Amino acid sequence: MSDLPRKAVTRTAKLAALPLGIAGRATWGLGKRIGGKSAEIVSRELQQRTAEQLFKVLGELKGGAMKLGQALSVFESALPEEAAGPYRAALTKLQEAAPPMPTRSVHAALEERLGEDWRERFLEFEDKPSAAASIGQVHRAVWHDGRDVAVKVQYPGAGEALLSDLNQLSRFAKLLGPLIPGIEIKPLIAELRDRVREELDYALEAEAQRAHAAVFADDPDVVVPDVVHQCDQVLVTEWMDGIPLAEVIAEGTSEQRDRAGQLLARFLFSGPARTGLLHADPHPGNFRLLPSQDTADGSGWRLGVLDFGTVDRLPGGLPRTIGDSLRMALEGEAAAVYEHLCEEGFVKESVSLDPDAVLEWLLPVIEPTRVEVFTFSRGWLRRQAARIGDPRSPAHQLGKQLNLPPAYLLIHRVTLSTIGVLCQLGATVRLRDELTAWLPGFGAAEDEPDAMAEAGAGA
């Protein structure tokens, strides 16, 4: 089965064509300007062509290439508005769809992994995939007991392709970096590469999904489909309808946007406290908005959560250091915050920084936690990206001297990605409420959050 381009030389050639293509378009742009077109029009055309080629290649290759595309897609809000349009259109295509694997290969894979009688396990099976992602695609079916199910089938050769892509893409990190200001691409690729084993292991994914499904079984706000069957590279879970979050971003009402944003924040911060696991792939393709079963409180919507292939194992919940540091920063305790950062390795022993300057660097980033209600927006995220990403700014120079300890890598990426999605939604969120309820140390220093204590007892 050769539907996923597996040969290293083939995939490398496609990825290597990206910088050549961008260089070629730059020459084309120069020619257009010499020919009389305005710099603004040429720049817009250049951005559109670059975006289309980049994400077309990432989508076609699936594997690590598409994984990077999905990770980048949540940061399109950080792009300058004049550049955002072309990238937004190209990026969001990766959040819900990719070129599917041919039907004959799907059948062959199911026969190999479920046995020659695989069809007897299903009353119905739709050959056309309902979704195609980085390492597998999903088919809707009816299980032999009558339940509607989602059947995730891993692409043949996905592991080899995933590693090959990420190794190759790391060589282009400097080229890709300017696409998303303020986001360092190389550490992102390295972190994705470190998660390859878990991403490919459907047994680990099934274990994480079962844990979430059990804890959230009676939750009024969050829905997690249970696992029906798992073997080797096939995962069968309960089917979940709903409005894809990408659609809410594109055309949702303000009520839907705000509700989705609030529940996304709630799930992010409550998950580790309640399950000991952090869902670590928060791009819009993994979430749905579902009608609430009980609209008495006026909320009207629940959040459906999919894809538990990448999780961070946090048996004690999110580190208390995060909550303590946030609380002390909001209280203006620069020296205490700096001491915490040094103890946790955010400031290396060889580096000496002004605590007041560090606090000044932090405060704009944690602005959503300072107020009861905060409206996330693309404009706010662009300002943060420009402040931190501009090499000429003091914030950029200070940021370069900070360090991100390995234990915080995934938490950092998940938090940034979630903020990116909230800004795409333009959601008005009571983030402070969620932090108080679920983040250890954020409330009064001497008290543990009541909600977290109750969840821990229940688990």
pLDDT in tens, 18-38: 544 444 434 333 344 344 444
How many residues appear in the chain? 459
Give the burial class of 337: count Cβ atoms within 10 A of its Cβ; 0-12 exposed, 13-18 middle, 19 or more buried.
buried
> Residue 69's pLDDT is what?
64
pLDDT bracket for residue 96 (50, 70, 90): very low
Q: Name the DSSP letter for residue 156.
A: T
**pLDDT recorded at residue 24:** 42
CA distance 133 to 97: 7
Confidence of residue 6 (pLDDT cuts 50, 70, 90): very low
Percent of the chain with pLDDT over 70: 69
pLDDT confidence tier of residue 1, bands split at 50, 70 and 90 = very low
Confidence of residue 41 (pLDDT cuts 50, 70, 90): very low
Give the dihedral of Cα atoms 146, 148, 276, 319; nearest 10 deg: -170
Q: What is the pLDDT of residues 243-258, one digit of tens each?
A: 999 999 999 999 999 9
Q: pLDDT higher for 443 or 59?
A: 443
Give the model confidence (pLDDT) of 406-425 as tens digits.
788 889 889 988 999 999 99
Q: Tally the C-alpha atoms within 13 A of residue 408's C-alpha that lie toward its C-beta.
A: 15
Task: Give the side-chain half-sphere CA count within 13 A for 387.
Answer: 13
Q: Measured in whole angstroms, how far is the alpha carbon of residue 235 from the centre of its chain? A: 21
Check whether 197 has a pLDDT greater than 90. no
Scored b (16 or more CB within 10 A) or e, 410-439 reads bbebbbbbbbbbbbbbbbbbbbbebbbbbb
Instruction: Provide the pLDDT for residue 443.
Output: 85
Name the strand (E) or helix (H) holding 301: strand 301-305
Looking at the DSSP bridge assignments, the partners of residue 276 are none
Nearest residue to 11 via CA among 62, 69, 84: 62
What the block records as the tokens of 79 is 């792009």
Work out the average pLDDT over 127-131: 90
Residue-wise pLDDT for 287-335, tens only, equals 999 998 665 454 689 999 999 988 999 999 999 999 999 999 999 999 9
- The yes-or-no verdict on residue 211 having pLDDT over 50 is yes
Residues 234, 136 contacting (CB under 8 angstroms): no
Amino acid sitting at position 236: V
**Percent of the chain scored above 90 by pLDDT?**
48
Residue scoring higher pLDDT (329 or 12): 329
Question: Which of 100-114, 170-184, 345-359 shows the lowest per-residue confidence on average (mean pLDDT)?
Answer: 170-184
Which tokens go with 340?
């915490």
- Locate the domains of the chain by residue range: 8-97+159-196, 103-158+197-238, 241-459
- Per DSSP, the three-state class of 283 is coil
279 has a pLDDT exceeding 50: yes
Nearest to 413 by CA among 282, 314, 218, 305: 282
Q: Calculate the dihedral angle through the C-alpha atoms of 264, 267, 269, 270, rounding to the nearest 10 degrees.
A: 160
CA-to-CA separations, 148 to 171, 221, 227, 235, 310, in angstroms, rounded:
43, 22, 12, 14, 24
CA dihedral 415, 322, 433, 223 (to 10 degrees): 50
Positions of E strands within 144-275:
148-154, 222-223, 227-231, 234-238, 243-244
pTM score of the predicted model: 0.78
CA 28 – CA 42 distance, rounded (Å): 9
The residue that leads in pLDDT, 390 or 428, is: 428
β-strand partners of 142: 124, 148
pLDDT range class, residue 275, cuts 50, 70, 90: very high
What confidence tens digit (pLDDT) does each residue in 359-380 have? 999 999 899 999 999 999 989 9
Structure tokens at 11: 């995939």
With 70 as the cut, is the pLDDT of residue 435 above it? Answer: yes
Q: Which CATH class is domain 103-158+197-238?
A: alpha beta
DSSP class of residue 447? -
